């Protein structure tokens, strides 16, 4: 499975101005995440609305303190009729998130990454600690000239995701088959749904919670039956529902030149290998 197997641009129109597309990863994008094989992304006119985000329904795997992302994919298209369109995407998880010094030297210390994971767990579990951890992380990055990179590594397996686009309902249905993922040591499979944090700046849910900008937080669990991410500039809303046997998180991070994502993530624990959910896409003209 090679990057070249991904069409230069695969697109399905949702409305006159809004479409979903999949493109091959690139090595020269604005953000480090440009090397990751993205899932379907929203496009308005000719503008990609994903920002630094990886798109919709993208699988990643956590093995101990290591996180693996897809760097390659093979795509099959199936056009059922003029209203139903399916992409079957076989992702290979062969990129690992690493930290790189300003000199270009990669941080290789396993103890360093283990400590980083401990702080990430603390950040996730204790809300009161987040401000201090984020400040300390930014200071450390500035002092050491650290940057996040995604480096090719031994693949931890494949995850096949089927995306069915229903133009009538303006719905994207995501169905995941993770039987090809190496389960040895895998603690979590995560389905990322991320778009541009500069655009999708509002969050609402069925519990009545309404948040704007930084209020959304960076990694907050939500038990709401239904959540919405809203692009207030273009009046676009994504609606997702909580799914049994998974944990749902919301988040948003915007740091100029480094981060720009807003998203909803589903966290699934092995040995489960199948998972499905729907994303309703609304555009108010």
Distance CA 265, CA 192 (A): 5
Band (82; pLDDT cuts 50, 70, 90): confident
Determine how many CB atoms are found less than 10 A away from the CB of residue 256.
Answer: 7
Residue 201 lies in a domain: yes
**DSSP code of 183?**
-
Beta partners for 172? Answer: 165, 279
Residue 119 lies in a domain: no
Residue 87 lies in a domain: yes
Residue 112 lies in a domain: no
Number of domains the chain is built from = 1
Distance CA 123, CA 100 (A): 22
pLDDT score, position 3: 46
pTM of the model: 0.86
Structure confidence by residue, pLDDT tens digits, 183-226: 888 999 999 999 999 999 999 999 999 999 999 998 899 999 99
DSSP 118-138: HHHHHHHH-GGGHHHHHHHHH
Structure confidence by residue, pLDDT tens digits, 17-44: 999 999 888 876 788 899 999 999 999 9
**CATH, residue 101:** 2.70.98
Average pLDDT, the chain: 86
Distance CA 230, CA 203 (A): 6
Distance CA 32, CA 52 (A): 8
Domain hosting residue 276, numbered range = 3-107+146-283
pLDDT score, position 8: 47
């Amino acid at each position: 499975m090679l990057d070249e197997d991904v069409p230069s641009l695969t697109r399905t129109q949702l409305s006159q101005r809004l479409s979903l597309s999949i493109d091959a990863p690139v090595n020269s994008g604005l953000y480090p995440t440009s090397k990751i094989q993205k899932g379907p992304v929203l496009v308005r006119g000719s503008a990609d609305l994903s920002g630094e985000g990886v798109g919709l329904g993208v699988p990643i795997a956590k093995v101990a303190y290591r996180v693996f992302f897809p760097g390659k994919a093979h795509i099959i298209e199936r056009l059922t009729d003029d209203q139903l369109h399916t992409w079957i995407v076989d992702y290979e998880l062969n990129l690992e998130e690493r930290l790189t010094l300003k000199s270009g030297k990669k941080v290789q210390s396993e103890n360093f990454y283990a400590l980083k994971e401990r702080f990430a767990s603390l950040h996730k579990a204790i809300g009161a600690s987040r401000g201090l951890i984020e400040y300390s992380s930014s200071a450390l990055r500035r002092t050491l000239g650290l940057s996040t990179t995604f480096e090719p590594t031994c693949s931890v397996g494949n995850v096949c995701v089927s995306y069915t686009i229903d133009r009538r309902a303006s719905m994207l249905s995501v169905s995941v088959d993770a039987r090809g993922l190496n389960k040895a040591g895998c603690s979590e499979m995560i389905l990322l749904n991320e778009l541009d944090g500069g655009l999708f700046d509002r969050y609402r849910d069925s519990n009545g919670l309404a948040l704007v900008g930084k209020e959304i937080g960076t990694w907050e669990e939500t038990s709401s039956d239904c959540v919405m991410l809203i692009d207030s500039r273009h009046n676009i809303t994504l609606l997702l529902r909580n799914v049994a046997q998974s944990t749902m998180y919301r988040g948003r991070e915007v740091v100029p030149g480094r981060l720009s994502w807003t998203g909803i993530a589903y966290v699934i624990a092995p040995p489960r290998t199948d998972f499905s959910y729907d994303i309703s896409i609304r555009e108010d003209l």
